[in-house]
Amino acid sequence: MATLHTQSTARLMMAPAVVLLLLWMLVPLGMTVWFSFLRYNLLMPGMEEWSGFDNYYYFLTDPAFGTALVNTLLLVGGVLLISVGGGVALALLLDQPFFGQGIVRLLVIAPFFVMPTVSALVWKNMFMNPVYGLFAWVAKFFGLQPIDWLAEVPLFSIVLIVAWQWLPFATLILLTALQSLDEEQKEAAEMDGAGPVSRFIYIVLPHLSRAITVVILIETIFLLSVFAEILVTTNGGPGLESTNLTYLVYAQALLQFDVGAASAGGIVAVILANIVAIFLMRIIGKNLDA
Amino acid sequence: MARAISPRRKWTITVVAWLLGLAIFFPILWTVLTSFKTEGEAIASPPSLVAFDWTLANYFEVQARSNYFKYVGNSIVIAVGSTLLGLLIAIPAAWAMAFSPTKRTKDVLMWMLSTKMLPPVGVLVPIYLIFRDTGLLDSRIGLIGVLTMINLPIIVWMLYTYFREIPGEILEAARMDGASLAKEIVYVLTPMALPGIASTMLLNIILAWNEAFWTLNLTASSAAPLTAFIAAYSSPEGLFWAKLSAASTLAIAPILIMGWFSQRQLIRGLTFGAVK
């Protein structure tokens, strides 16, 4: 019953959300674009001047950008590999009937609710500390030399920490998708003599493919912006070994006060995230029609 | 229909699943246990799982030394405040989208979701400068505003999916009976929408409580929530694992329990309906 009256009421009700989000998106983003074309350092106020594409040239040709880009891709790729691979395996396991299913499920999803600074510091201190950490104790127990995780393999260590946080998310989504799989279909395949492996490849995996895609896309969007875990463990170091794009832009802006270069970096990050977002939006859009 | 499986297989799966579950949960369990140790026992080698002198001293000391409850208070104010403000803005919008959809509704919704995909560093510099110039840096009001905006798309989206499940005929019947818009909302819609609103609220408090980009970048001390307070333990001098654990346990316990109750909402809210 969409009369003209209800139409305008509806518009009025949507207005605050739409206007606020529009302002939130356009004003700061517009400012970032504007700053990215200025020579603008907070240590030299009043010296701002137009500099064209200098900031982009500076940011993109800075070796730190290449390092940070590679680190970002390794971080996202590594976490995806562990969380999606492990998530599929865990979901398949938890989908089977066993005693205490509900409790195990709660145990598995718990890490997702731990705030990033807590999980990073717990791992950094109580597990990865080279002298007192549990990993060091385990290494010594087996007569091995303990390694200083965050100094020797900083990026890998951060991948482990972040993967621990996101494995539960992947597991939960994939388990939900798995539970919507038609049991009869699986049984029919079983009766036709399909073994567990071929049932997995021809029935389960195709059914999961969309959920897996969604998990990959959503995790990628969040993983491109990993920040707190790096800040409290390695500060991006040693050197630039664990600096990702988000951390690099943060360092440019709030540690070196170079607003121009940081803004150019921010725009580069936005463009990268958009590439992923386009694919995700397509899937969401299709689902909204259905 | 559950398929019959042999008891032996069931027991094998039970053992494997419990071992894996406990392994994944172990860092949390270890944090909780460490919070009851003395600083000396916390770094003891070999570590003891439960055979140590249990003490509550760390909890008292965290409060005495650093006024822990100030940060708890900030976390609560920021998480609850931004969620309530978000609901206030989102409920009318989601209501309109669900019950008076137009051709453009879907586009508006998609556009809202797309703002959630903007990486925060893309707007870090201007937000920081605006906050600095308007005195919002390190203020709870400022953080409530930012967290409201970053979670608004998820709130609108979740409410929309819940509201859409309410049959429209009921509203039409109410309108036929001459109910005004206000009455329609108070007497018809609200009771039916309450469970959805509550779920949305729960998930958003969790997300806002754990948010650790803006809270770390926009606070120093007076408005710092628990995320920022815990981050201060990253300084290399001294080993305060037992106190870190006590602070961490208190910071994650309430949210973990809320999280356990909101698994379904998590799926709905964070996959944007792409997985059901």
Subunit contact B234:A233, Cβ cutoff 8 A:
yes
Residue B125: inside a domain: yes
Subunit contact B25:A118, Cβ cutoff 8 A:
no
Handedness of CA B96, B98, B103, B104 (dihedral sign): positive
Separation between Cα atoms, residue B86 and residue B204, nearest integer Å: 9
Q: Three-state SS for B240? A: coil
Cβ atoms of A240 and A176 within 8 Å: the answer is no
Subunit contact A214:B274, Cβ cutoff 8 A:
yes
| Residue B220: predicted pLDDT | 84
Handedness of CA B110, B116, B118, B123 (dihedral sign): positive
Q: What is the C-alpha radius of gyration for chain A, rounded to an integer number of angstroms?
A: 24
Select from A202, A211, A201, A218 the least CA-distant residue to A180: A211
Q: How far is A153 from chain B (nearest CA, A)?
A: 18
A/B interface, count of CB pairs below 8 Å: 313
A chain contacts of residue B117, beta-carbon cutoff 8 Å? 221, 273-274, 276-277, 280-281
A chain contacts of residue B97, beta-carbon cutoff 8 Å? 10, 14
Separation between Cα atoms, residue B131 and residue B109, nearest integer Å: 28
* CATH assignment of the domain containing B138: 1.10.3720.10
| Residue B263: predicted pLDDT | 80
Select from A148, A129, A126 the least CA-distant residue to B242: A126
Residue B202: inside a domain: yes
Residue B87: inside a domain: yes
B chain contacts of residue A287, beta-carbon cutoff 8 Å? 273-274
Cβ atoms of B31 and B249 within 8 Å: the answer is yes
Cβ atoms of B123 and A28 within 8 Å: the answer is yes
Give the tokens for residue B258.
């809320």
Subunit contact A137:B152, Cβ cutoff 8 A:
no
User: Sorting pLDDT into bands at 50, 70 and 90, what band is B1?
Assistant: very low
B chain contacts of residue A119, beta-carbon cutoff 8 Å? 27
Q: Closest chain B residue to A7 measured between Cα atoms?
A: B100
Subunit contact A31:B276, Cβ cutoff 8 A:
no
Q: Three-state SS for A39? A: strand
Separation between Cα atoms, residue A230 and residue B4, nearest integer Å: 48
Domains plus CATH for chain A?
A: 36-289 (1.10.3720.10)
Subunit contact A122:B120, Cβ cutoff 8 A:
no
The length of chain A in residues reads 290
Handedness of CA A244, A209, B266, B198 (dihedral sign): positive
Phi, psi values for residue A132, rounded to 5° = -105, -5
Q: How far is B259 from chain A (nearest CA, A)?
A: 6
Q: Which of A1, A176, A263 is closest, CB to CB, to B125?
A: A263
B chain contacts of residue A228, beta-carbon cutoff 8 Å? 212-213, 216, 227, 231
Subunit contact A284:B115, Cβ cutoff 8 A:
no
Subunit contact B89:A20, Cβ cutoff 8 A:
yes
Measure the CA dihedral A59/A64/A66/A69, to 10°: -90
Cα-based distances in Å from B69 to A175, B66, B73, B142: 38, 9, 6, 20
Give the tokens for residue A55.
């900031």
Phi, psi values for residue A49, rounded to 5° = -145, 155
Residue B51 or residue B60, greater confidence: B60
User: Which residues 6+ apart lie within 8 Å of A106 measured at CB?
Assistant: B260
Q: Which of A101, A118, A263 is closest, CB to CB, to B248?
A: A118
Q: Which of B24, B123, B128 is closest, CB to CB, to A108?
A: B24
Subunit contact B230:A115, Cβ cutoff 8 A:
yes
A chain contacts of residue B27, beta-carbon cutoff 8 Å? 111, 119, 122-123, 126-127, 164
Select from B29, B4, B261, B20 the least CA-distant residue to A94: B20
> Per-residue pLDDT for B3 more than 70?
no
Q: Which of A13, A184, A276 is closest, CB to CB, to B95?
A: A13
B chain contacts of residue A267, beta-carbon cutoff 8 Å? 122
Averaged pLDDT for residues B159-184 = 81
Separation between Cα atoms, residue A214 and residue B271, nearest integer Å: 7
Q: Which of B1, B47, B121 is closest, CB to CB, to A134?
A: B47
| Residue B42: predicted pLDDT | 84
Half-sphere exposure of B270 (CA within 13 A, CB side): 25
B chain contacts of residue A288, beta-carbon cutoff 8 Å? 106, 109-110, 273
Summarize pLDDT for B32-55 with one digit per residue, the tens. Answer: 999 998 888 888 777 877 778 888
Phi, psi values for residue A105, rounded to 5° = -60, -40
Separation between Cα atoms, residue B56 and residue A124, nearest integer Å: 24
Q: Which of B10, B93, B122 is closest, CB to CB, to A14?
A: B93
Q: Taking the CB of residue A139, how many other CB atoms lie within 10 A of it?
A: 15
The tally of domains found in chain B comes to 1
Residue B236: inside a domain: no
Subunit contact B212:A280, Cβ cutoff 8 A:
no
B chain contacts of residue A100, beta-carbon cutoff 8 Å? 14, 17-18
Separation of CA A220 from chain center: 5
B102: alpha, beta or left? (left if phi > 0; alpha if psi -120 to 50): beta
Q: Taking the CB of residue B59, how many other CB atoms lie within 10 A of it?
A: 19
Q: Taking the CB of residue A93, how many other CB atoms lie within 10 A of it?
A: 18
Select from B206, B109, B210 the least CA-distant residue to B161: B109
| Residue A1: predicted pLDDT | 47
> Per-residue pLDDT for B77 more than 80?
yes
Subunit contact A117:B212, Cβ cutoff 8 A:
yes
Separation between Cα atoms, residue A56 and residue A212, nearest integer Å: 35
Separation between Cα atoms, residue A275 and residue B62, nearest integer Å: 45
> Per-residue pLDDT for B8 more than 70?
yes
Q: How far is A73 from chain B (nearest CA, A)?
A: 15
Domain span at B156: 69-224+250-270
Q: How far apart are the first and last CA of chain A?
A: 22
So what's the ipTM on this one? 0.87
Separation between Cα atoms, residue B96 and residue B105, nearest integer Å: 9
B238: alpha, beta or left? (left if phi > 0; alpha if psi -120 to 50): left
Summarize pLDDT for B231-269 with one digit per residue, the tens. Answer: 888 776 556 888 899 999 999 998 999 888 888 777 877
Subunit contact B108:A132, Cβ cutoff 8 A:
no
User: Sorting pLDDT into bands at 50, 70 and 90, what band is B6?
Assistant: confident
Preferred mutation among B125, B131, B146 to probe A, highest tally of A CBs within 10 A? B125
Question: How would you write the pLDDT of chain A (290 residues) with one tens digit per residue?
Answer: 455 567 788 888 888 889 999 998 889 999 988 888 888 887 777 777 788 888 888 888 888 898 999 999 999 999 999 999 999 999 999 988 889 988 999 999 999 999 999 999 999 988 898 888 889 888 988 988 888 888 889 999 999 999 999 999 999 999 988 888 877 777 788 788 878 888 888 888 888 888 898 888 888 888 988 999 999 999 887 888 999 989 999 998 888 888 888 899 899 989 988 888 888 788 877 776 65
B chain contacts of residue A122, beta-carbon cutoff 8 Å? 27, 30-31, 244-245, 248
> Per-residue pLDDT for B74 more than 90?
yes
Residue B157: inside a domain: yes
Q: Which of B118, B274, B276 is closest, CB to CB, to A284?
A: B274
Select from A205, A177, A208 the least CA-distant residue to B276: A177
B chain contacts of residue A35, beta-carbon cutoff 8 Å? 125-126
Subunit contact B276:A9, Cβ cutoff 8 A:
no
